[in-house]
Amino acid sequence: MTSRFTTGLLNRPVWFLWIVLLLCFWVAAWAGAVPVTADDWRVLWRHEEPLTSGAYVLWNLRLPRILFAALVGAVLGLSGALTQGLFRNPLADPGLLGVTSGAACAAALTIVVLAGSGIDIPIAWRFWVLPLTAFAGAVGVCLLLDTVARWLTADSIAGLLLTGIALNALAAAIIGLCTYLATDEQLRSLTFWTLGSLAGGSWSLVAALSLLLLAAIWYARRLVGAMNALALGEAAAAHVGIHVRHLRRCVIILVALLCGFSVAWCGVIGFIGLVAPHIVRLVVGPDQRRLVPLAMLVGAIILLVADTTARIVAIPAEIPVGIFTALLGAPFFLALLTSVRKGG
């Protein structure tokens, strides 16, 4: 009975993953340094003064953060699935399109050059400058990459990959130079930025990212069919009437906006974009129509679990989340790999 129920669930991975995600939400909302009681949940409709510490932490810090973690995870899963589909290469991740290095490069230049130039930025703006420049850097480098690759290597996707490697190396060199030139204080800001963290999650970011993700999902639905055709090869896709050049541009813009946003606000969170689509592919196969939404759910689950672990393992301290995305995700992925290979 139980086994039939579980197989039934596994045949409907979307429902299965939604249940897992909701369970993770439940655990994440209860777990943390400050104890939360059932009463703290009710403050939403029973305005009580003054708020208990549990209610304050729950509604102002913990809930926005776990929602933000799940949204960022979904964004990374979506971008990973689209990038791998575009490159027709399971080793591709959004970083190959220059998102991460572009954002990091812009952040490093902002911290070292802009701050060093003595331009006085109003205090109210200071908080926004870094995420905005990082976002601009991510999108800018992605579009530059597409344009340069098209100019140098016609419309070849392999050319895009190679140009991406070259541009990434160039960005890394600029980051290295900035690190070398940075003063101790600037180096400190750079460290804050590169250590990926979801600590900044707030309701306004959650709202902004949900809108962006919603728009991206709506847009991605039109692309997935064409992506399936592209899996047969660029020439084959062109023969069935897919405008490969247009598709490529669309995917790059989508990935640049999504990953750019997440990198700008959370710093570098690796691994999810690469592995979430793989996990899904092992279970449901390469059909992009199923792969893309499931990769989003898997990405959301991995990042939510990793961030919750990072929050609660060393209370009252916190451990960088990047450690746990890989620490929890990699063994799971390996286990899935063995079981699928054996079963198949």
| Smallest separation (angstroms) from another protein to the CB of 207 | 5
Between residues 278 and 311, which has the closer beta carbon with respect to another protein? 311
Q: Write down the least CB distance from residue 317 to another protein, Å.
A: 3
CB of 67 to another protein, least distance (A): 7
Rounded CA gap, 225 and 212, in Å? 21
* Exposed e or buried b per residue across 254-287, where buried means at least 16 C-beta atoms within 10 angstroms of its C-beta: bbbbbbbbbbbbbbbbbbbbbbbbbbbbebbebe
Q: Which residue has the tokens 């190959």?
A: 96
**DSSP for residue 32:** S
Nearer to another protein, 33 or 326 (CB): 33
Nearer to another protein, 149 or 193 (CB): 193
- Under DSSP, the state recorded for 344 is -
CA distance linking residue 22 with residue 122, whole number of Å: 42
> What is the DSSP-derived secondary structure letter of residue 97?
G
Q: Which is nearer to another protein, 139 or 213 (CB)?
A: 213
Q: Which C-beta is closer to another protein: that of 91 or that of 214?
A: 214
Q: How far is the CB of 125 from another protein (least distance, A)?
A: 14
Min CB(38)–another protein separation in Å: 17
Nearer to another protein, 224 or 302 (CB): 224
CB of 184 to another protein, least distance (A): 6
Where on the chain is the footprint of another protein (CB under 8 A)? 12-15, 18, 32-34, 43-44, 49-53, 56-57, 59-63, 67, 127, 180, 183-185, 188, 191-192, 195, 197, 199-200, 203-204, 206-207, 210-211, 213-214, 217-218, 221-222, 224-225, 289-290, 292-293, 296-297, 311, 314-320
In three-state secondary structure terms, 38 is helix
Cα dihedral 331, 198, 190, 146 sign: positive
Residues 82/273, Cβ–Cβ less than 8 Å: no
Burial class of residue 31 (count of CB atoms within 10 Å of its CB; 0-12, 13-18, 19+): middle
Give me the helices (H) in the chain, please: 2-11, 13-30, 38-42, 53-56, 63-87, 99-109, 115-116, 123-153, 157-181, 184-194, 203-230, 234-239, 244-266, 272-284, 288-312, 321-343
> C-beta of 230: minimal distance to another protein in Å?
14
Measured from the CB atom, the residue of 62 and 278 that comes closer to another protein is 62
Nearer Cβ to another protein, position 269 or 296?
296
Smallest separation, CB 115 to another protein (Å):
14
